[in-house]
Amino acid sequence: MNARSLTEDQYDSAVSLWTATGLTRPWNDPMDDLLRAMSGATSTVLGCSLDGDLVATAMVGHDGHRGWVYYLAVAPDRQESGLGRMMMEASEQWLIERGAVKVQLMIRTNNSPVIGFYDHLGYELSDVQVRAKWLNADDAANTDSAAR
Ligand SMILES: CC(C)(COP(=O)(O)OP(=O)(O)OC[C@H]1O[C@@H](n2cnc3c(N)ncnc32)[C@H](O)[C@@H]1OP(=O)(O)O)[C@@H](O)C(=O)NCCC(=O)NCCS
């Protein structure tokens, strides 16, 4: 098992995986997010394939200071077999190789089941408040923007 940046033929599978694992929201086009991450100089989407199927993803990037992980997903029938840990470790390694010193992530408040997972991997609760503002007037009409 290893993780590498997605190839174009895997993009649709990644979006299907994000849908199957409850990571998408109606107001946020996941393919736009994927294309933005894949075309950025400081971001990518890592994927892991088993038997020809994309079974796990993690979007990873850095802002020159901190690294971020989004869209961590493991196919429902492959969960609890170490893939989530492997994708997080691959994301951390990707960031280390690019000089990032810290990695952060956001968990939607209604996604409490994953808190134990991140705790177990050493991700501490930060004493910060995340604030967000839409930069596009059309998007601003939507709600629940923080976890985008
Ligand atoms: C969260 C998710 C990626 C975890 O993937 P996974 O492949 O099932 O996790 P792993 O099997 O790699 O688990 C890694 C370790 O965490 C532990 N763990 C997993 N879930 C846990 C939990 N809720 N509480 C405590 N420990 C947990 C495992 O026991 C394992 O421990 P070990 O490596 O010491 O044996 C997966 O459940 C998922 O895709 N969820 C839906 C999408 C999602 O919510 N993504 C996160 C968005 S913020």
The model carries a pTM of: 0.94
Q: Whose CA is nearest to atom 36 of ligand 1?
A: 74
The count of domains in the chain is 1
Tell whether 145 is covered by a domain.
no
Q: Tens digits of per-residue pLDDT, 77-128?
A: 999 999 999 999 999 999 999 999 999 999 999 999 999 999 999 999 999 9
Residue 61, token pair as written in the block: 């990037």
- How large a percentage of the chain has pLDDT more than 70? 94
Q: Which residues contact 81 (CB under 8 A, 6 or more apart)?
A: none
Q: Tell whether the model's pLDDT for residue 147 goes beyond 50.
A: no
Residue 146 forms part of a structural domain: no
Ligand 1 centroid to Cα of residue 141, in Å, is 34
CATH number at residue 133: 3.40.630.30
Residue 18 within a domain? yes
Ligand 1 centroid to 115 CA: how many Å?
A: 9
The confidence score (pLDDT) of residue 143 equals: 57
**Which residue's C-alpha comes closest to atom 23 of ligand 1?**
116
Q: Which domain holds residue 117?
A: 4-140
